[in-house]
Amino acid sequence: MARNLKVNVCIFLIISCVDSCFIPGSIQATVPQTVPVGHVISKVDVDHCDTKTLHFTSSDPDFTVQADGTLVTVHITMVPANGRTFSVQFQDPNGQKKNMDILKDGLLKRSKRRWSPLPFNIIENDSPPFPKEVDLVASDSSAAYNVYYTLSGPGVTEHPVGVFSVVRETGMLKVNRAVDREITPQFIFQARVFDRYTNQETDLPLPITVNVEDVNDNAPTFTGQLQFTVLEQSNVGTMVGKVNATDIDKPGTDHTKIRYSLLSGTDLFYINPETGVISTKTDTLDREVKDKHFVTVEIRDMNGALKGLSNTATATIVLGDINDNPPTFTKTSYNVSVMENQEKGLILRIPIEDKDLVNTPNWNSEFIITKGNENGNFRIERDPKTNEGLIYLTKPLDYEKTKNLKLEVLARNQAELSGTNAKWVSIPVDVTVGDVDEGPEFTAPTVLFTVQENTPNDTLIGTYTAIDPETKSSAGIKYYKVSDPASWIYVDESTGQLKIANTIDRESHFVVDGVYNVTMKAVDASLKTGTGTVIIQVEDMNDHAPDIPSKDLVLCEKDGGEMGSVLVVAEDEDQAPFSAPFSFKLGEKHDDKWAVKPLNNTAVMLEQTKELPTGLYTVPLMVWDLQGFGNTQTVTVRICRCRNGACLAQQNSTSLGVWAILAMLLGLALLLLLGILCAFVCVTKNEKMELEDMGDSGGCNITYCNIFPPIGLVLVCSLWTNNNMHSPLSTSSFPLSATMSILARVMFTWSTFSLQKLAYLGTEEDGRYTDDIIHKYGFEGVGSPAGSVGCCSDQGNQEDLDFLNTLGPKFKMLAEVCTNK
């Protein structure tokens, strides 16, 4: 496929006249052999020229020079192979003319079987009229075919649609409207060539690139904050802040090269023209004079050239505070009056002034009373709302002791001073104390007297008096007790003498750590009062002998005949040296069964000296304190079998064994049966029998049924025991289980005996047993060595009841209780 020839023309720019705003040299450009209208050939550097005062003319009518030095074609121009030359003339306001000769050389180049166009260029925001020719799109195939051209892609058939078009017959590329480089810096679309007759493509498609050349149509803009802070009195050259700006024109060109300048505030601040950093130009910035400064900043592109586009903005520079102003008082001195004995509270406000920033450590005040408050009668604080000094009275003043106080108050800040030679200042505060008619005052708030316990009544222990603060006299003052918890002290109301009224006991609960307090009051003629405290230090006497508080002791029996021991502890209410260490010794009437072994200052071990059976033992012990004061005391030692340190009888006293309960139930059943039989025998067989008084019986007829006495005893005691679990029988001295065991045995014996007797009676004739059942006697039991005789006497001792006589003291106690009940 053949291609069209393309001519590249080199253009050389020769400056014939020297001018300071031009840079001599040459410009070489490549153009097509046919140069379309509006084609940019090159650009003359006139950035440093005042283009507003210069007039440009071209010697060749096909070319013109725009105001910014751009050389463009105004007609379709053919460039011959040997080049083309023309000149440009510049005329200044004074009428002087300067010429530039333009030399153009044309170079013929051919690229076989390839599209001819190189990347095309258009100027952004070009001025009308439109459309404007850009360049020819030519294919070598046009030499062999009758062709037409089409375009497609962005800027043609895609967004932005219709920016470019092509003349189908000639391949002339046209731009139809102005283009913004900042929106679309480059267009790449596709050109195709077709045979007009067959509509077949005669060459391969070719991408067409159109670059949009930048013009300086965007002024730089500010970015970021324009508010900065710098401390007052900062040194020269201290950085304040940095101004930031941007330009959306083509980067790397003068169109985006920004320079910074200050249009105001130049006496105080300086801005770096290249970086935009603002710095201080003086060290005299004073926040208290002016806390904010407003400076106008200009940003200009084209590296600051006059023809560059610019913007301005106001930057706010805030001065930060330093503590260069100490607080000052509004007055040179203060006076305040305070009454004596006045209660605590605020007595004076001291205003101050401070020029530094409010509610900061540079402004917040602190106050110190540097003189006159040695007794601590005052304190000073800061009012957080007003920053004033507040003086408070913390202890009442006494007119009779101090009529005037001169204070000195210093004011300062929380922060230290900086950037100034000033110092903290102080002012005097004169405090006048007013007189008040006061009550009497004791010679001292408290007085101490030492008294030995058990001191006899009416003994003088001391005198406690008061005086009138104004007259310094005790005349007319009366004295009374306010508090005397144990009523041990008598106070003479006229003299203030203190005497013993009742026996003082150091061991009393009214005495704490050996001290007893009495509160007194003094009353003058005007009934004003004053109070004081009498402290009585009570000295100890040896008035308490050592005592053994636990005299009932338990000694657990040991196996294998080992001797046991028990701890004996003594106490003494007296204090040293009238108490421990104690001395222990067996009493004079001891039985050599025990021995005393020392353990510590207050205790001994009471040890067996021989093997002893279980039981109760009384042991006399003599106990003396350190001074030999003591007596003989008796302790009781119970020797028993133990479990977990307690006697077994004690553990079982409140519970019944299984066999005891069964025996009790069996006995009750037998008693019920015997009761029914006895009622039948003793009553139904003697319906007609009468009981008569024999005369010598003392008016008492006694009727017996031989079966009843022992059964009655058992029944009554059994029922009484079950209904009186908290009776003496339930204590450790008589365990309930033992009681029930004895009762069960007695009931079984007498039940067996009674059943045998009833069986015997049932075999006899009526006259036989009826004579034996009920007898009437005129006199019972007195002087009869044989006792009662009945039908049962001949039974003999069929059941051995001798065990009832050997039941021991426990059963005797039961019998006594039952008899009493």
Highest mean pLDDT of the ranges 422-426, 450-454, 806-810 = 422-426
Q: How many structural domains does the chain have?
A: 7
pLDDT in tens, 151-188: 999 999 999 999 999 999 999 999 999 999 999 999 99
Please give the average per-residue pLDDT across 40-45, as a whole number.
72
Q: Answer yes or no: are the C-beta atoms of 193 and 138 closer than 8 Å.
A: no
User: Residue for token digits 């330093």?
Assistant: 322
462 and 340 both lie in a single domain: no
Asked whether residue 547 is domain-assigned, the answer is: no
Which of these three, 174, 190, 214, is where a domain ends? Answer: 214
Nearest to 625, CA basis, from 590, 576, 588: 576
pLDDT at residue 133, as a whole number: 94
Better-scored residue on pLDDT, 309 or 578: 309
Which of these three, 291, 320, 349, is where a domain ends? Answer: 320
pLDDT at residue 148, as a whole number: 96
Distances (CA, A) of 622 to 546, 568, 625, 628, 634: 10, 12, 11, 11, 9
* CATH number of the domain to which 43 belongs: 2.60.40
521 and 562 both lie in a single domain: no
Better-scored residue on pLDDT, 787 or 449: 449
Indicate the angle between helix axes 808-820 and 708-723, nearest 10 degrees. Answer: 90
pLDDT in tens, 718-733: 444 544 433 333 333 4
Distance in angstroms (rounded) separating the CA atoms of residues 608 and 562? 9
pLDDT at residue 753, as a whole number: 55
pLDDT in tens, 754-804: 556 555 555 544 444 444 444 444 444 444 444 444 444 444 444 455 555
Which of these three, 214, 235, 256, is where a domain ends? Answer: 214
382-385 contacts, C-beta under 8 A, 24 or more apart: 383/349
pLDDT at residue 20, as a whole number: 46
Q: What are phi and psi of 389, to 5 degrees?
A: -90, 135
384 and 272 both lie in a single domain: no
47 and 32 both lie in a single domain: yes
pLDDT-based confidence at residue 751 (cuts at 50, 70, 90) = low
Please give the average per-residue pLDDT across 225-247, as a whole number.
97
pLDDT in tens, 350-377: 999 999 999 999 999 999 999 999 999 9
Distance in angstroms (rounded) separating the CA atoms of residues 269 and 281? 5
pLDDT at residue 105, as a whole number: 45
CA dihedral 66, 70, 76, 78 (to 10 degrees): 130
pLDDT at residue 301, as a whole number: 97
Distances (CA, A) of 351 to 173, 331, 612, 819: 87, 8, 96, 101
pLDDT in tens, 479-521: 999 999 999 999 999 999 999 999 999 888 999 988 999 999 9
Please give the average per-residue pLDDT across 430-445, as a whole number.
89
What domain range includes position 16? 1-110
Indicate the angle between helix axes 766-773 and 736-763, nearest 10 degrees. Answer: 140
> Identity (one letter) of the amino acid at 736?
L
User: How would you classify residue 817: left for phi > 0, otherwise alpha for psi between -120 and 50, otherwise beta?
Assistant: alpha
pLDDT in tens, 393-426: 999 998 888 999 999 999 999 999 999 999 999 9
597 and 646 both lie in a single domain: yes
Distance in angstroms (rounded) separating the CA atoms of residues 615 and 636? 10
- For the chain, the average pLDDT equals 79
Inform me whether the pLDDT recorded for 17 exceeds 60: no
Q: What are phi and psi of 245, to 5 degrees?
A: -145, 160
> Identity (one letter) of the amino acid at 293?
H
User: Residue for token digits 């008619």?
Assistant: 437
What 3-state class would DSSP assign to 795?
helix
Highest mean pLDDT of the ranges 100-109, 381-390, 521-530 = 381-390
User: Residue for token digits 């009761």?
Assistant: 675
pLDDT at residue 675, as a whole number: 62
610 and 719 both lie in a single domain: no
Distance in angstroms (rounded) separating the CA atoms of residues 31 and 525? 132
Sign of the alpha-carbon torsion through 357, 361, 365, 369: negative
Asked whether residue 676 is domain-assigned, the answer is: yes
Asked whether residue 426 is domain-assigned, the answer is: yes
680 and 806 both lie in a single domain: yes
Share in percent of the chain as helix, strand, coil (round to 5): 15, 35, 50
Asked whether residue 450 is domain-assigned, the answer is: yes
Asked whether residue 544 is domain-assigned, the answer is: no
Better-scored residue on pLDDT, 655 or 552: 552
Asked whether residue 477 is domain-assigned, the answer is: yes
- Could you tell me which residues come within 8 angstroms of residue 193 by beta carbon, excluding any fewer than 6 positions away? 139, 141, 142, 147, 148, 149, 171, 201, 202, 203
Distance in angstroms (rounded) separating the CA atoms of residues 534 and 499? 12
Q: What is the DSSP letter of 380?
A: E
Highest mean pLDDT of the ranges 42-56, 421-435, 574-588 = 421-435
pLDDT-based confidence at residue 661 (cuts at 50, 70, 90) = low
Rounded to the nearest angstrom, the gap between the alpha carbon of residue 83 and the centroid of all alpha carbons in its chain is 93
342 and 392 both lie in a single domain: yes
Inform me whether the pLDDT recorded for 544 exceeds 70: yes
507 and 567 both lie in a single domain: no
Nearest to 418, CA basis, from 367, 361, 359: 361
Inform me whether the pLDDT recorded for 699 exceeds 70: no
User: Residue for token digits 């020819």?
Assistant: 136
Structure tokens given for 113? 């079987």
635 and 689 both lie in a single domain: no
* Residues written for the chain: 821
674 and 797 both lie in a single domain: yes
Distance in angstroms (rounded) separating the CA atoms of residues 650 and 661? 19
User: Residue for token digits 């007085």?
Assistant: 447
pLDDT at residue 540, as a whole number: 79
Distance in angstroms (rounded) separating the CA atoms of residues 531 and 517? 13
pLDDT-based confidence at residue 664 (cuts at 50, 70, 90) = low
Asked whether residue 534 is domain-assigned, the answer is: yes
Q: Answer yes or no: are the C-beta atoms of 367 and 409 closer than 8 Å.
A: yes
Beta strands in 301-424 (DSSP E): 310-320, 328-329, 334-339, 345-350, 352-353, 365-371, 378-382, 389-393, 404-413
The C-alpha R_g of the chain, in whole angstroms, comes to 68
> Identity (one letter) of the amino acid at 571?
E
Better-scored residue on pLDDT, 685 or 298: 298
> Identity (one letter) of the amino acid at 781?
G
pLDDT at residue 41, as a whole number: 76
- Could you tell me which residues come within 8 angstroms of residue 587 by beta carbon, excluding any fewer than 6 positions away? 619, 620, 621, 622, 632, 634
Distances (CA, A) of 677 to 38, 497, 712: 158, 92, 14
* CATH number of the domain to which 626 belongs: 2.60.40.60
pLDDT at residue 63, as a whole number: 81
Least confident of 111-115, 118-122, 171-175, 214-218: 111-115
Structure tokens given for 68? 């910014």
Nearest to 58, CA basis, from 47, 50, 70: 70
520 and 534 both lie in a single domain: yes
**Among the residues of 76-233, which ranges form H helices?**
none
Asked whether residue 526 is domain-assigned, the answer is: yes
Distance in angstroms (rounded) separating the CA atoms of residues 128 and 114? 34
Distance in angstroms (rounded) separating the CA atoms of residues 568 and 554? 11
pLDDT at residue 477, as a whole number: 92
- Could you tell me which residues come within 8 angstroms of residue 527 by beta carbon, excluding any fewer than 6 positions away? none
